[in-house]
Amino acid sequence: MQKKLSVSILDSDFSKIKETIKKLEKNKVDWIHFDVMDGNFVSNLTFGAKLIKPLRKFSNLTFDTHLMIKNPEKYLQNFIDAGCDIITVHYEATKNLKKIIEVTKKAGKKIGISIKPKTPVNVLKKYLCCIDLVLVMSVEPGFGGQIFNESVLQKVLQLKDLRETKNYKYIIEIDGGINLQTAPIALKAGVDVIVVGNAIFSSKNPFKTIDKFKQLLK
Ligand code: DX5
Ligand code: ZN
């Protein structure tokens, strides 16, 4: 699969969010990564479906939605209705993964499951047959700009092996601490999609930095 860049807007200037989305569209990034946080599952609070919905009309890019919220099944329909293309929930945040997978797929959306750095791949075994994406966290979820935890690449290798031996179809995405130095390491381990936030929006020229990441993906 062609490697992809999913740009997290968490550390972008929220007063200019519409322009940012339109510029990301113009810059032909692959996906836009929305970090939804509830202040409960993670100790940070960001935004919900109400912020994503009005942005849908400004972009045809894939809306890659990372739900760092407790009991995401309670809010799933809001994100489906907001036009999210990929909805990723945390394994650690719900007891209703089977239902979430069913409802999301029935709505014609892609379903992902994310695991925190300390959560082993084994917990996902019974879901891997039927999901579209696994989001491997390379930081503790909650904040942008943290340091890449290289040990999680073991899980990337494990997911790659499992996908090959069982002929599964899920995409492997990595999220947290990805910059121009750590991206090549993660890509070499076999990730298909890299999420990048702070390394882009803390740089002097974010859209030049995006071009550098796109070079790495070639
Ligand atoms: C962290 C989020 C990440 C973050 C992007 O909980 O899931 O998507 O915003 O990470 P950085 O800023 O490290 O690229
Ligand atoms: Zn994220």
Residue-range domain boundaries for the chain: 4-217
Closest atom of ligand 1 to 66 CA is 7
Q: Whose CA is nearest to atom 9 of ligand 1?
A: 144
* Confidence at residue 1, expressed as pLDDT on a 0 to 100 scale: 83
* Confidence at residue 185, expressed as pLDDT on a 0 to 100 scale: 98
167 φψ region: left (φ > 0), alpha (ψ -120 to 50), beta (else): left
Report the separation in Å between the CA atom of 193 and the middle of ligand 2, taken as the mean of its atom positions.
12
Q: Is residue 13 flagged as an active site residue?
A: no
Q: Using the 8-state DSSP alphabet, how is residue 14 labeled?
A: G
- Averages of pLDDT over each 10 residues, the chain, 218 residues: 96 97 95 98 98 97 98 98 98 98 98 98 98 98 96 98 98 98 98 98 97 96
Catalytic residue among 30, 64, 175, 192: 175
Closest atom of ligand 1 to 33 CA is 8
Q: Is residue 161 flagged as an active site residue?
A: no
Residue with tokens 């790659």: 160
Closest atom of ligand 1 to 42 CA is 6
Ligand 1 touching residue 72 (CB < 6 A): no
Report the separation in Å between the CA atom of 166 and the middle of ligand 1, taken as the mean of its atom positions.
30
For 4-217, CATH gives 3.20.20.70
Q: Is 72 helix (H, G, I), strand (E, B) or coil?
A: helix
Ligand closest in space to the Cα of 198: 1
83 φψ region: left (φ > 0), alpha (ψ -120 to 50), beta (else): left
Cβ–Cβ contacts within 10 Å for residue 57, how many? 10
Catalytic residue among 30, 35, 38, 192: 35
Contact residues for 163 (Cβ-Cβ < 8 A; gap 6+): 128, 169, 170, 172
Q: Determine contact, residues 134/115, Cβ cutoff 8 Å.
A: yes
Three-state SS for 99-164 is HHHHHHHHCCCEEEEEECCCCCHHHHCCCHHHCCEEEEECCCCCCCCCCCCHHHHHHHHHHHHHHH
Closest atom of ligand 1 to 140 CA is 6
Q: Using the 8-state DSSP alphabet, how is residue 45 labeled?
A: B
Contact residues for 16 (Cβ-Cβ < 8 A; gap 6+): none
Ligand 1 touching residue 194 (CB < 6 A): no
Ligand 1 touching residue 198 (CB < 6 A): yes
